Structure 1
């Protein structure tokens, strides 16, 4: 195709094109280019660097600010165009709308209040990070759905969005209880406003607040006030201990079947007073689960105390657990131990297998009879404490290695819960990444929104010996290195031991079981397929095109990996 004909053709689609010589002089421009660069005046005969400085060094997809609220972006040059010798064709288009959209999207996600926008047909158009965090969802779960499909009222009232669309009037300070499409129950305060254009309603804008969280904060304020009253001589009301657990099951981010099953088991055992032993590798979130069990139990109003048995010397650990009487040793004062302080509540023994066997033997009396005697004392006191414990090796391995007494295990391991390692639940990686983005964007003043496909493949293949904590640190590392103007994490920003293909393969194989190669390949494929299908909202043809394979090939790979479309689309990025 002759270049003049090609330039006219591009102009019909709103694409500007200029033909420039090797010395940067504009030889020809099409009508769209003249229109997009109208503020610059006549183009022909001038240098491109004069009109658009540094444009030739920009990459396609980046934005060039040519005037106030006016932006251009470079486009790939068409192939097969017959150009004169020693010339080149540069194409560009108007990008003002998408720049504004990106800016507004970033602003909306920085707003702490949960926000939702629906069109006039009640379809969800936009949700911000705060709403997704509150509802434990990702945008792909709800965007495009009818509001009544995504949420179900459980308080006998109708959702506010359809009412506002019908009445064309705002609704303010409406309290609503509803469930998400994945069953999470929420209690909110909602303000919903219609959006008009020349009298016609375009949609509804909603701002919400999680009432249950507000009530928790209010209770904490009351507890603090009671703590202050306790110090006042006139206070006569019995006071509750200020020691408490801050995590709930709602704080556990997951969508894998393994984690869902583990959480449901924990919710059931939370109802009793039986001792629970949690086993999980370093970084799996054992204390988070322990605190959640306490907060879901009948002891939630009582104190929650935790002690790391690996961080404290044996003699000091004994004094901290059982308390001391004055004179028990040089400098000893009369003070209660953790068992007494946790009376009516829960005590967590963190890394129990690091406690000496001698001190474990001394635990048996309080575990068997609920009786504690302070170091250097003779008086015995009865305590009502639920004991939770955690270890970072399998219990029977700890017993075999003489790191855990068998009789202590039988007392503290009445119920045993195993917390899955991250390598066994890699489908949780995308939702965990989103959660870390929300935390770190505020902490680091960034606007990171995604990782590219290569990074996702690395994450799915890597063995994560440090589990969720290592993933979190990896994301924080990358976000610290990522330039402020970039929003997608690429391979070069990852820690060196993870970004190196040899590195992550080696680390994966260090703890490999038989058949690890097949497991790694399967994990990578499952992660990439799931991500592509979710991004394309279940459109198999579009997802296949994005992956560069046929629709039939994608369906075959889904079947081979046991992936069901309905399960992928309804995958619940839960915090419960």
Structure 2
């Protein structure tokens, strides 16, 4: 076999190979090598790209080459006893991204404090990190490949979590483990156990284990600190109120420029005591912004209270805001209102445009004077409260419709913040959807890995009248409805109203037709399958090249080929 034939054979085995001269000019390169170096067929006759020059070093040891963010090449030993033209060298390399990531992840896993124990789909132990070795006092090489139940004996009636997770295909969280190893070491630990599922196949499972004695000591410290805090609170009224805001600006998920602008405005506003009116459509997260403003302000140690003006009748809302004295009305008690409870802190008035106009006049007087009087009382009480308000229609529209007093708007809207709707910041949709997916994975004990591109395209073209809250509910629906043997969210598992912006009833009628192929969902599937077949045909069944054209991972494309029962051999010569 000559060197040209060898180069092509190496390509068939997923290895890049190039013949280079002494001055690092590429004399010949195979198809795999050209793809790995992003050459687009233009490398032959040109110098080796600067980023790939380390591949040309005079050694056959494996070295990682960082060619671009997230992509690595791995130098491979060159075949021996192959006749090459004089003054040339054969450089062999392959995609080393997965190897690099594995090396990085192994190093990280060895440095964390929790023990990690992995097993394969047959419950055979396959990996221990250093903390797990220390916890169990095991020499990993002595037990790798053995069945979990042969190495660990549970000291109670419970089953070992790793095989149980494999069987049930669901995580087991915060589980107490008391076991004895095959070498007699008794261990008391707490663990989270997760299955690893890909394309519906269970590949294995892993434990994240922490020594219970360490956890117990920490609990004791927490109890001690709690007692000290209670003692401190009883002697100092300036401790942080239990009426506190949960969220900060760091909790807001975004990548879009409009959201960055709004958050920068809010951070600036938070430094002052000025009143702020936050306008945004339903579901945009107005209270999230209000809480973040409070937590970034010099009032963050004070209380944060929120009241929804649309949820309460006028008389009850008035008593909640200003308080009452006993006997003021039937059932009235001496009770402080929200203004008193929020003293030295922040009060959020949500949906302020739903408050009765007469009550708005009373509110205006409090904002002007900083003095409240409980219902039925005669004593004036001085309060120091920063007022934030939220409104779900444009403020000037609310004024024109007599839903908001103009003078109250000028008092509450010293600063006006407009939160853009989700349809105006579509760059955030994929990030938010992924965030909700991971959140519901944890909450619902699911193992969903991602969202397919067709579904993301549906998300990007939908108008989202319910904004972020609607997206959150859509992702919860999808995670719940996704079958256990599937790990990728596809369009059939999202709420069906997302598939059309025109007429929900027409979708229902289409779904009721006897021929299922007429449904919108099946038409989308047909389009996706035809597109895949076309790209595979153009690339002669080459999965790597087809995945590049489709801008998806090989694994994602292979999943779809399997899903649509496409025979890849039909596209290969």
Using structure 2 for the length normalisation, give the TM-score: 0.51
Q: What is the deviation of 1:491?
A: 1.3
CA contact (8 A) 2:353 2:404 kept: yes
Distance 1:218 1:289 in 2: 36
1:321 match: secondary structure: helix
CA contact (8 A) 2:248 2:291 kept: yes
Distance 1:477 1:278 in 2: 29
Matches within 5 A, 1:163-182: none
Distance 2:456 2:377 in 1: 59
Verify: 1:546 aligned to 2:546, yes or no.
no
Verify: 1:431 aligned to 2:435, yes or no.
no
CA contact (8 A) 1:325 1:376 kept: yes
2:375 match: secondary structure: coil
2:235 match: secondary structure: coil
Matching residue of 2:236: 237
1:431-474: CA deviation from partner (whole Å, max 9, x where unpaired): 00110011111122211122222211111111000000001101
Matching residue of 1:515: none
Distance 2:244 2:506 in 1: 42
Matching residue of 2:400: 400
CA contact (8 A) 2:305 2:346 kept: yes
Q: What is the deviation of 1:170?
A: 7.5
The alignment of Structure 1 onto Structure 2 pairs a total of residues equal to: 335
Largest Rg, 1 or 2: 2
Matching residue of 1:448: 448
Verify: 1:295 aligned to 2:299, yes or no.
no
Verify: 1:367 aligned to 2:337, yes or no.
no
Using structure 1 for the length normalisation, give the TM-score: 0.51
| Cα RMSD for the two superposed structures | 4.5
- In structure 2, relative to structure 1, the CA distance for the partners of 1:418 and 1:373 (3 Å cut) is same
Distance 2:274 2:475 in 1: 38
Distance 1:457 1:415 in 2: 36
CA contact (8 A) 1:227 1:239 kept: no
Distance 1:484 1:263 in 2: 39
1:369-425: CA deviation from partner (whole Å, max 9, x where unpaired): 111111111111111100000000000001001110001000000000000100000
Matches within 5 A, 1:98-117: none
Distance 2:414 2:222 in 1: 32
Q: What is the deviation of 1:238?
A: 2.5
1:349 match: secondary structure: strand
CA contact (8 A) 2:352 2:389 kept: yes
Distance 2:461 2:505 in 1: 8
**Using CA pairs below 8 Å that are at least 6 residues apart, which structure has the higher relative contact order?**
1
Matching residue of 1:463: 463
Distance 1:286 1:359 in 2: 23
CA contact (8 A) 2:463 2:501 kept: no
Q: What is the deviation of 1:222?
A: 9.7
2:470 match: secondary structure: helix
Gaps of 5+ in 1: 1-8, 15-118, 127-142, 148-160, 174-190, 199-206, 208-216, 508-540, 549-576
Q: What is the deviation of 1:504?
A: 7.8
1:314-335: CA deviation from partner (whole Å, max 9, x where unpaired): 0000000001111111111111
CA contact (8 A) 1:281 1:392 kept: yes
CA contact (8 A) 2:462 2:501 kept: no
Q: What is the deviation of 1:365?
A: 1.4
Matches within 5 A, 1:75-474: 228-229=230-231, 235-240=234-239, 241-474=241-474
CA contact (8 A) 1:224 1:242 kept: no
2:387 match: secondary structure: strand
- In structure 2, relative to structure 1, the CA distance for the partners of 1:145 and 1:336 (3 Å cut) is farther
Distance 2:220 2:293 in 1: 22
Distance 1:145 1:419 in 2: 44
2:416 match: secondary structure: strand
Distance 2:246 2:318 in 1: 26
Distance 2:403 2:551 in 1: 50
Distance 1:120 1:344 in 2: 61
Distance 2:323 2:458 in 1: 50
